[in-house]
Amino acid sequence: MERIIKCILIIILLATFNEVQSQRLFIHLEGGTVNYGGDLQDKIFTFNQANNFIGAGLYYNLSDHIAIEGSLSTGKLAASDAKSNTGGARRNLSFYSNISEASLLVRANLWNIPADKKFTPYITAGVAVFHYDPYAYTLSGTKVYLRPLRTEGEGLPQYPDRKIYNLNQIAIPFGFGVTYAISDNFMVGAEINFRKTFTDYIDDVSSQRYADTAILRSLRGDLSAKMSFRSDETSDPYTFSDRITRGNPDKKDAYYSCVIKLYISLDNLFSSSSNSSEAKRNRKQMDCPKKVL
C-alpha cells in the first residue's frame, strides 16, 4: 500500500508540474503586410503599395492576462507620388526601403487562453528598434541610395537646420488583435500594429522647401540634384522657381503591419517527452506494482 501511495503522489506531482509549466512559453511565426504613412502616402491606413512582412519571436505568459512578446521582423516599405492620392503627381517623388525591426511588447489578453477560453481579443504596446535605408530608381532604372546624396541639403553649411538623419531609429509599437487556441500546443492570431516613429526621413522627404539644385550639384554632384527635384521627368513639370512644397517637417513618418501569427508551445514540445521519460524512471525506482487488486 505504501508503494501505491508513493506512486500516486509522484504521478500527481508530475501532472501538477506539467500543468503549471505548460502554455507559458511559445515560439511564434508571423507573416503579412507592412505599409507606410508619410509625405508620399498620406492615408492613415491603406493596403495601397503595401509589401510583405515576416517575422518570428518568443511569447511568454507572465500571468493569466499579461504576456510579453519579443520579435525580429523584416519587410519592405515603398511609396510613390504616381501611385498615391497625395496630389503630388507633378512632384514625382518615390522611395523604397528594406526595414528590419526588433521589438519587445507587453500584451493584455481579455481572457486566459488556452487554460480558460479558446479565444481572446487583446491590446499590445511596447518599444522597437528599426533599421531602414531609403533608395529610389533613376529614369533609366538605376538603383540609388538617397541618404548619401543629401537630397534636401542635410549636413551642408547652406542648410544648418537640416541634420543628417540616422538610419537606426526607435519606434513605439501599439496595436490590437485576436488569438484562437487550436489546442494546448497551438494558437493562431491576427494582429494590426502601428509604429509611431521619431523620424521624418523614412521616405527621404521632410523639408518644406527644396534645396537649391545648384548647391547640390556643386557639393554633392549631378545625381543629388537630379534625385532631389524630379518634377522635370513628368509631362506637366513644375519650374524650380515655383517654390513648390517638397515635404511636411511637422509630421513624422510611421509604418504599420497586418499579420497572421502561429504560436507553438515550447513547454509542451520539450516537456512531454522528458516528463514521460522521467515518470518512467521514477516508477521504476519506486518499484510501483504493475497491478492493484
Could you give the 3-state DSSP secondary structure of residue 275?
helix
Which CATH number characterizes residue 243's domain?
Answer: 2.40.160.20
Nearest-angstrom CA–CA distance, 48 and 53: 15
Query: Is residue 155 in a domain?
Result: yes
Q: Is residue 181 over pLDDT 50? A: yes
Query: Is residue 222 in a domain?
Result: yes
C-alpha to C-alpha distances, 120 to 60, 71, 75, nearest whole angstrom: 16, 20, 27
Query: Is residue 97 in a domain?
Result: yes
Residue 162, φ and ψ in degrees, nearest 5: -105, 100
Query: Is residue 132 in a domain?
Result: yes
For the segment 187-196, what is each residue's pLDDT rounded down to a tens digit? 999 999 999 9
Q: What grid cell was written down for 125?
A: 504596446
Query: Is residue 290 in a domain?
Result: no
Residue 18, φ and ψ in degrees, nearest 5: -65, -35
For the segment 107-146, what is each residue's pLDDT rounded down to a tens digit? 999 998 877 889 999 999 999 999 999 999 999 999 999 9
- Give the other-Cβ count within 10 Å of 58's Cβ: 14
Q: Is residue 155 over pLDDT 70? A: yes
pLDDT band at 271 (very low <50, low <70, confident <90, very high): low
Nearest-angstrom CA–CA distance, 103 and 101: 6
How many domains does the structure of the chain reveal?
Answer: 1
- pTM listed for this prediction: 0.80
For the segment 230-254, what is each residue's pLDDT rounded down to a tens digit? 988 888 887 765 567 889 999 999 9
Domain that holds residue 65: 2-285
Least confident of 151-165, 172-186, 190-204, 224-238: 224-238
Q: Which residue has the cell 501511495?
A: 5
Maximal CA-CA distance, the chain:
101
